[in-house]
Amino acid sequence: MEHKLSLYNSLTRKKELFKPLHSPHVGLYVCGPTVYSEPHLGHVRMAITFDTLFRYLLHLGYKVRYVRNITDVGHLEDEVAGTGEDKISKKAKLEQLEPMEVVQKYKLMFQEVLQILNTLPPSIEPQASGHIIEQQQMIRRIMDNGYAYEVNGSVYFDIETYNKKYTYGQLSGRKVEDMLANTRQLEGQQEKRSPLDFALWKKAGDEHIMRWPSEWSEGFPGWHLECSAMSTKYLGETFDIHGGGLDLLFPHHECEIAQTVASQGKDHVRYWMHNNMITIDGQKMARSLHNFITLKELFTGSHEKLERGYTPMNIRFFLLQAHYRSTLDFSNEALQASEKGLHKLLKAIENLDRIQAGKQSTLSVVPVIEKCFEALNDDLNTPIAIAQLFEGVRLINLLLEGKETLDPTDLERFSTFMKNICYEVLGLQPLEQSLTHDSAEEGLLQILVDLRLDARKNKDFATSDLIRDKLNELGIALKDTKEGTTWERIG
RNA sequence: GGUCGCGUGGCCGAGUGGCUAGGCAGCGGUCUGCAAAACCGUGUACGGCGGUUCGAAUCCGCCCGUGACCUCCA
> A34 with A87: CB under 8 angstroms?
yes
- The pLDDT of residue A431 is 84
d(CA A426, CA A341): 15
Please report which confidence band the pLDDT of residue A359 belongs to, taking 50, 70 and 90 as the band edges. Answer: very high
Q: Which of residues 25-44 of A touch strand B (CB under 7 A)?
A: 31-34, 41-43
Nearest nucleotide by C1' position to the A456 CA atom: B33
- Please report, for chain A, how many H helices and E strands are present, in that order: 16, 15
Confidence band of A154 (pLDDT split at 50, 70, 90):
very high
Asked whether residue A471, judged by its CB, lies under 7 Å from any atom of the DNA or RNA strand B, the reply is: no
A379: part of which helix (H) or strand (E)? none
- Strand B closer than 7 Å to the CB of A270? no
Domains of chain A, earliest start first: 18-275 (3.40.50.620), 283-425 (1.10.730), 440-489 (no CATH)
| Cα–Cα distance measured from residue A35 to residue A92, given in angstroms and rounded to the nearest whole number | 11
Number of neighbouring beta carbons within 10 Å of residue A278: 24
Q: Report the half-sphere exposure of A209 (CA within 13 A, side-chain side).
A: 14
Cβ neighbours of residue A325 closer than 8 Å, sequence gap 6 or more:
A8, A274, A275, A276, A379
Say whether the CB atom of A347 is under 7 angstroms from strand B: yes
Q: Is there contact between A244 and strand B, defined as CB under 7 Å from any strand atom?
A: yes
Task: For residue A385, give the nucleotide whose C1' atom is nearest its CA.
Answer: B22
| A413/A457: higher pLDDT | A413
- What was the pLDDT predicted at A185? 54
Strand stretches in A31-73, DSSP E = 63-68
In terms of C-beta density within 10 A (0-12 exposed, 13-18 middle, 19 or more buried), how is residue A111 classed? middle
Going by their DSSP bridges, the two strands A219-221 and A199-203 should be labelled as: antiparallel
What angle is formed at CA A282 by the lines to CA A279 and CA A287, rounded to 5 degrees? 45
Q: How far is the CA of A10 from the C1' of B17 (A)?
A: 26
Q: Any atom of strand B under 7 A from CB of A339? A: no
Residues A273-325: pLDDT tens digits? 999 999 998 899 988 888 999 999 999 999 999 999 999 999 999 999 999 99
Answer yes or no: is A253 CB < 7 A from strand B: no
Residues 204-223 of A with CB under 7 A from strand B: 223
pLDDT reading at A342 higher than 90: yes
Give A250 CA → B13 C1' in Å.
28
Q: Tell me, in Å, how far CA of A412 is from C1' of B17?
A: 40
Nearest CA-CA partner of A389 in A372, A410, A377, A409: A372
Q: What is the CA A430 to C1' B37 distance in angstroms? A: 19
Instruction: Look up the protein residue whose alpha carbon has the minimum distance to the C1' of B3.
Output: A174
Q: What is the pTM of this model?
A: 0.93
Of the ranges A59-63, A185-189, A370-374, which one carries the lowest mean pLDDT score?
A: A185-189
For residue A80, is pLDDT > 70?
Answer: no
Is the bond leading into A221 cis (omega within 30 degrees of zero)?
A: no
The interface predicted TM-score (ipTM) is 0.95
Closest by CA position to A228, among listed A190, A205, A198, A208 = A198
Q: Which residues of A238-265 are buried (b: 16+ CB within 10 A; e: fewer)?
A: ebbbbbbbbebbebbbbbbbbbbbbbbe
| CB A476, CB A490: distance < 8 Å | yes
Q: Is the CB of A333 under 7 A from strand B?
A: yes
Q: Nearest-CA neighbor of A385 among A316, A322, A312?
A: A322
Is a pLDDT exceeding 90 seen at residue A382?
yes
Instruction: State which residue has its Cα closest to the C1' atom of B66.
Output: A282
| DSSP, residue by residue, A277-302 | -EEETTEE--GGGT---BHHHHHHT-
**Count of beta carbons in the 10 Å neighbourhood of residue A151:** 14
- Work out if A463's Cβ lies within 7 angstroms of strand B: no
pLDDT at res. A394: 96
A197 C-beta less than 7 Å away from strand B: no
Residue type, A211: R
Q: How far apart are CA A474 and CA A470, in angstroms?
A: 7
- Cα–Cα distance measured from residue A56 to residue A426, given in angstroms and rounded to the nearest whole number: 8
DSSP state at residue A86: B
Of the listed ranges A33-37, A110-114, A286-290, A382-386, the least confidently predicted one is A286-290
Question: Can you give the pLDDT at residue A78?
Answer: 36
Cβ of A91 near strand B (under 7 Å)? The reply is: no
Range of lowest pLDDT (A88-102, A333-347, A428-442)? A428-442
Gap between the terminal Cα atoms of chain A: 46
The answer on pLDDT for A418 being more than 60 is yes
Q: Is the CB of A235 under 7 A from strand B?
A: no
Across A320-359, b (16+ Cβ under 10 Å) vs e yields: bbbbbbeebebeeeebeebbebbeebbebbeebeebebbe
Q: Per-residue pLDDT averaged across A446-451, rounded? A: 91
Query: Comparing A181-185, A247-251, A423-427, which segment has the lowest mean pLDDT?
Result: A181-185
Nucleotides of chain B within 7 Å of a protein C-beta?
Answer: 1-5, 11-15, 21-25, 31-41, 66-74
